[in-house]
Amino acid sequence: MSLKGKLTVVLALLVILVVGLVAANLLTGSKAGRLTAGFTAEFIERPDGYKGLTEAYAFRFATEPKQMDPGLMYKACADGAVDVICAFATDGRIAAYDLFTLEDDKKFFPPYYAAPLVRGETLPKYPTLERILNSLGGQLDDATMRHLNLQVDREKNPRKASSVAREFLVSSAIISADAKPGDGSAGTVRIGGKDFTEQSILGEIMSILIECSSNLKVERKLYLGGTMICFNALKSGDLDMYAEYTGTGLVSILGRDVISDPDQAYSAVKKDFKDKWDLIWLEPLGFNNTYTLTMRRKHAAKLGIRTFSDLAACVKTQQRR
């Protein structure tokens, strides 16, 4: 066979392959308008994530949700690459991309109030630390946290988490505008964070506050990874503290059932973490970063989806076609 003939055959095979892939995608995902989902790896595996959600609402998507980076999910949903994503209630990109937050009508997700989680042996070692961190108690409501997150995550002129954190501390009169770090002579504390924007901001808020309110030096270990990576680092002594969420501590770490009352959930994790691991929950920061499910606003309206139950019913109806 001549070279021209071989090239013609190869080209024909490539065309067949592309057509086949497109057809397969239609059959497995968007055929008859079937909804597709994109979730973070952690949400897919967590008991208070997709696993538990499918049991509580008795549905599964026709194709398994795509595993997505938390930094890419919102744009992917807005652009139509997927139809449903797991989202964080305090993420500013929900409003920025005009996405619609579905109502968790069966109250599946527990409250996720953030608070500094600290090793018990760290607090007596540095006696001023608890007072310093507790000055953050109640200072961050949902709207404030959404605003801070968006400053870092926005596509145009994104800011560094450290500058956003310092601006918050100054504007809230928690530190003065000319506050500077101490000399580091009192020792070093290691502050960690999970691998998403909000955690980096909270890590910087705690770090800057400690540095500017004491002579402690802070070693930052932000963007470490998921929940269990940070938690195990705290238990082992590789970290002194990081910001954790009550619902995550309750369900994902302790393996307990959901407690819907925020105060009761906080009391439960505070007691159990102290008893089991000598880890101390300090004062909650004030906001509730609960999980939710999010869709494009117009798409949700077209399908009549406002709640998780509506979503489950829609998915099951599509699968019966």
Are 312 and 267 found together in one domain?
Answer: no
In a domain, 220, yes or no: yes
- Using the predicted structure, report yes or no on whether residue 33 has a pLDDT greater than 90: no
pLDDT value for 5:
54
User: Are 152 and 208 found together in one domain?
Assistant: yes
Could you give the percent of the chain with pLDDT greater than 70? 90
Tally of domains within the chain:
2
Residues 273 and 300 in one domain: no
180/264 same-domain check: yes
Phi, psi (deg, nearest 5) at residue 130: -60, -45
Say whether pLDDT at 148 is over 60.
yes
Give me the pLDDT at residue 2, please.
56
Residue 307's CATH number: 3.40.190.120
Q: pLDDT tier at 320 (50, 70, 90 boundaries)?
A: confident
Asked, for residue 97, whether it belongs to a domain, the answer is: yes
- Mean of pLDDT over the chain: 91
- List Cβ neighbours of 273 (8 Å cut-off, separation of 6 or more): 117, 249, 254, 279, 280, 281
Report yes or no on 5 lying in a domain: no
**pLDDT for 236 beyond 70:** yes
Considering the domain architecture, whether residues 214 and 156 belong to the same structural domain is answered as yes
Range of the domain at 302: 34-109+291-320
User: 37-39 and 84-88: which strand pairing?
Assistant: parallel
Q: Based on the fold, state whether residues 180 and 41 are members of the same structural domain.
A: no
Judged against a pLDDT cut of 80, whether residue 14 lies above it is answered with no
What CATH number does residue 166 fall under?
3.10.105.10
| 249 and 105 co-located in one domain | no
- pLDDT for res 20: 43
The predicted pLDDT at position 1 comes to: 55
Residue 158 shares a structural domain with residue 123: yes
Beta strands in 14-93 (DSSP E): 37-39, 66-67, 84-88
Q: Which position has the higher pLDDT, 319 or 86?
A: 86
Indicate whether 246 and 305 sit together in one domain.
Answer: no
Residue 98: predicted pLDDT: 93
Give the pLDDT score at 155. 86
pLDDT value of position 321: 74
Residue 24 lies in a domain: no
Look at residue 8 in the predicted model and tell me its pLDDT: 53
User: What per-residue confidence (pLDDT) applies to 16?
Assistant: 46
Give yes or no: residues 119 and 255 share one domain.
yes
**Structural domain includes residue 18:** no
